[in-house]
Amino acid sequence: MRLLILLLPAVLATACATVVPPQPWEKGDLAKPSMQIDPDPLALKIDQHIYASKEAATGGYGIGGGGCGCN
């Protein structure tokens, strides 16, 4: 019984191999405003400023790294 519980996640995880990421022409949903990290431009600017000033972190959003769907 315990063996079954231990093995079950491994068995279920094999289903993940059949999940295929979307093709470039199927990314329409990613382009919706609700799919943005933060659709409000002012709030986004504040967040980006905080990341930049406190963590020296930039990027990770927009065309290449984000889900705008145009790539």
Partner 1 sequence: MGALAAGVGDAAPPFALATASGESVSLATLRGRVVYVDFWASWCGPCRRSFPWMNEMQQKYGARGLAIVGINVDKKRSDAERFLQQTPAGFTIVFDEPGVTPAAYAVKGMPSSYLIDAQGNISAVEIGFFDDHKAAIEERIRALLAARG
Determine which residue in the list 31, 43, 52, 57 makes contact with partner 1, applying CB under 8 A.
31
What one-character-per-residue DSSP string does 8-27 give?
HHHHHHGGGGG--PPPGGGT
Determine which residue in the list 25, 34, 42, 54 makes contact with partner 1, applying CB under 8 A.
25
Residue 20: φ, ψ to 5°: -110, 135
Containing 65, the helix (H) or strand (E) segment is: helix 62-65
Least distance to partner 1 from the beta carbon of 31, Å?
4
Instruction: Give how many residues touch partner 1 by CB under 8 A.
Output: 12
Residues of this chain that bind partner 1 (CB under 8 A): 23-28, 31-32, 68-71
